[in-house]
Amino acid sequence: MAMLAVAIPAVRSGELIGVNLAVLALLPLATFEAVAAMPGAALALGRVRGAAQRVVEILDAMDPVPDPVSPLDPPAGDVGVTLRGVSARWPGGVDILTGVDLVVPSRRSIGVVGPSGSGKSTLLAVLSGFLPYSGSILLGGVELREMTGAAIRTVIGWCPQVPHIFDTSVVENVRLAKPGASDDEVRGVLDAVGLGPWLDSTNRGIHTPVGDHGALVSAGQRQRIGVARMLLAGHRVVLLDEPTEHLDEGTAEAVAAELLRVLAGRTVIWVAHRDHGLAELDEVVSLDRGVLR
């Protein structure tokens, strides 16, 4: 008001043009808009600093599986997996896997069944190159520890029980595995995992949004998006972590049959709490307290 009290007489006397009066009148509103977000930003500063510190700690942490000095190239062609006397533990803990022997021929599928805490997740972490081990693991005849982690993960793909879904479209979530993939390539793997009819029923097809944390898709659709992502990456060895958990026996068998059809020609290691849906696998073994039975 004080500004207007000064400005209006200035306009009348010709010292100030009318347009500038309007600018002066709107200036306080624009200033308020610019600073309105500052209280919220100040409140969030502590959380952001804490999150940044945790990220820095992770980035600065020592790699639990350092790359070899003279790494070997990953094997070519179809690959099997052979474990001989493999033991592994998480940093600071005791052995979770103890003397595990397992042979998975190339292009074959095997189920590893065991209760929580039996070592299934540890086994997948070791095979993915995220955890050191003793004993021997041959990937197509090449010792796993003699390859870099990045090289291992060009051959082996891990599809977790709950694949992470970003708040974007279906196509962009799948394309993470191969950033240069065309829409047709992505649609091909989505059709392969059985998502074609659902996508055709939506207005946006492969560009359908999935929502925050995948809120707009079902658990089954999320799982299939994760498998499609792995197919697009071209992994020759596939690790599946509880893909049919929380499904009834009949549904689990149907989903398992569909997944194995899609993954035909790849080496598959499937871990689960129970053997529901695993009848189509070539072999099923039990893991109990880190020991295969």
Q: HEC string of 91-155?
A: CCCCEEEEEEEEEECCCCEEEEECCCCCCHHHHHHHHCCCCCCEEEEEECCEEHHHCCHHHHHHH
Confirm whether 65 is domain-assigned: no
- State how far the Cα of 251 lies from the Cα of 220, in Å rounded to an integer: 11
Whole-number pLDDT of residue 63: 66
Cβ-contact 113, 284 below 8 angstroms: yes
Tell me, what CATH number does 189's domain have?
A: 3.40.50.300
- State how far the Cα of 239 lies from the Cα of 125, in Å rounded to an integer: 10
Cβ-contact 238, 269 below 8 angstroms: yes
For 198, the token pair is 């659902």
Q: Do 37 and 85 share a domain, yes or no? A: no
| Pairing verdict, β 95-104 and 237-241 | unpaired
Domain boundary among 25, 60, 95: 60
- State how far the Cα of 44 lies from the Cα of 50, in Å rounded to an integer: 10
Averages of pLDDT over each 10 residues, the chain, 293 residues: 62 66 67 73 80 79 79 94 96 91 96 92 95 96 95 93 90 94 93 90 94 88 88 92 77 80 92 85 92 83
Confirm whether 124 is domain-assigned: yes
Closest CA to 162 of 118, 208, 214, 116: 214
Confirm whether 144 is domain-assigned: yes
Q: Do 54 and 163 share a domain, yes or no? A: no
Q: Do 95 and 41 share a domain, yes or no? A: no
Confirm whether 73 is domain-assigned: no
Closest CA to 26 of 59, 52, 4, 55: 4
Confirm whether 74 is domain-assigned: no
Confirm whether 69 is domain-assigned: no
- State how far the Cα of 235 lies from the Cα of 152, in Å rounded to an integer: 10
Q: Do 16 and 110 share a domain, yes or no? A: no
Torsion of Cα atoms, 14 then 18 then 24 then 29, to 10°: 160
Q: Do 169 and 227 share a domain, yes or no? A: yes
Q: How many Cα atoms occupy the beta-carbon half-sphere of 163 within 13 Å? A: 30
CA angle 79, 85, 87 (to 5 degrees): 100
Q: Do 41 and 101 share a domain, yes or no? A: no
For 90, the token pair is 């998480």
Question: How crowded is residue 252: how many other Cβ atoms within 10 Å of its Cβ?
Answer: 21
Q: Do 102 and 141 share a domain, yes or no? A: yes
Confirm whether 269 is domain-assigned: yes
Q: Do 18 and 126 share a domain, yes or no? A: no
Q: Residue 218 to residues 83, 123, 162, 197: CA-CA distances in angstroms?
A: 36, 28, 11, 14
Q: Do 10 and 104 share a domain, yes or no? A: no
The domain total for the chain is: 2
Confirm whether 28 is domain-assigned: yes
Q: Do 165 and 248 share a domain, yes or no? A: yes
SS3 content of the chain, % helix, strand, coil (to 5): 45, 20, 40
Which element (helix H / strand E) includes 284?
Answer: strand 283-288
Q: Do 113 and 241 share a domain, yes or no? A: yes
List, in order, residues 6 or more apart from 30 with CB less than 8 Å away: none
- State how far the Cα of 120 lies from the Cα of 112, in Å rounded to an integer: 7
Q: Do 220 and 254 share a domain, yes or no? A: yes
Whole-number pLDDT of residue 260: 87
Which residues span the domain enclosing 100?
81-292
